[in-house]
Structure 1
Amino acid sequence: MYKIKVNTSYVFNVSNEDSQQLDTVETAHNQYHILQNHTPITAEIISADFNNKLYTIKVNNSTYEVDIYDALDLQIEELGFEIGASKQVNNIKAPMPGLILEINVKVGQEVQDNDALMILEAMKMENVLKSPRHGVIKSIQVKQGQTVDKNSLLIEFE
């Protein structure tokens, strides 16, 4: 089950079964033709921030900001904790298998929260991996063009 928040105003609950029932065809990179209840829909993923689960999607010429909350996010929210509160992340791991397209930082570089660290291509999408906190890059464990497995160590913070 996922909770989808659109433009910080509208909330939808979507199950895996709901998403699998959509008749979807990828027509180009990040562009889709969807048929729902015999109605054609054109959709395009304009930007994707995989780490923060934030997406900008254009549907039939209207643009929407979409936040996706998975089961873990929902459980944290139910417990009354703020998602992402008081986190101290010391390393970045690959959220999924993919190809390192670009590395935007160097060892010893100081980064701020949400700075773009690297781009990971996975499932035909470019995912910008952003810094979860302010810190200094201790090490970079990958090189541009390298393929990585899920949970592979990418970057360590001091």
Structure 2
Amino acid sequence: MSSNYKVTVNDAFHFDFEKESVSQLDSIPAGVNKFHILHQNSPYKAEIVSSDFNQKRFTVKVNNTNYTVVISNPLDILIKEMGFEAGSAKQVNVIKAPMPGLILEINAVVGQSVKENDNLIILSAMKMENSFLSPRDGVIKSIFVKTGDAVEKGQLLIEFE
């Protein structure tokens, strides 16, 4: 597989990026989730407003305009070319931490009925706040963390009935 990424912006614009070109981006951090970018001698202010790692969907504000960005890695591209949709054949019953971080907020309680895309947990990791949305409609069976907990990659956070 190649090291190319496909990026879709606002479901209308499609771009191909190579791993090397992304690492050469002229940007510097300007705060939590904020960046100053220089492209073709023009300055841009960028901010990651929200992120959904499960769907690889991000809301990015560039010079006060919001954009919805979806990033597909080589595996996502291969799965789609084969006619499958990642995760469509299984029902998600647990949410695990995709990276180490700190639990900032928990927006659910045991026994609560939730709808798909309800915000369940906010995890701070790598200077970003990551919102974890419910992957499906369901009822919360167990919550294994509390606000302020430090979590490791792969640690179980929430279980559904």
Give the TM-score, by structure 1 length: 0.92
Name the structure 1 match of 2:145: 142
Alignment of 1:1-158 (within 5 A): 1-158=4-161
Cα separation, 2, equivalents of 1:144 and 1:113: 22
Give the percent of matched residue pairs that are identical in Structure 1 and Structure 2: 57
* Runs of at least 5 residues in structure 1 that lack an aligned partner in the other structure: none
* Displacement after TM superposition at 1:139 (Å): 0.8
Q: Is the 8 A contact 2:50 2:131 kept in 1?
A: no
Indicate the SS of the match to 1:72. helix
Cα separation, 2, equivalents of 1:8 and 1:133: 22
* Displacement after TM superposition at 1:156 (Å): 0.8
Give the TM-score, by structure 2 length: 0.90
Aligned length: 158
CA RMSD in angstroms comes to: 1.5
The aligned amino acid for 1:126 is E
Of the structure 1 ranges 91-100 and 64-73, higher mean CA displacement relative to structure 2 is found in: 64-73
* Runs of at least 5 residues in structure 2 that lack an aligned partner in the other structure: none
Cα separation, 2, equivalents of 1:122 and 1:72: 24
Indicate the SS of the match to 1:96. coil
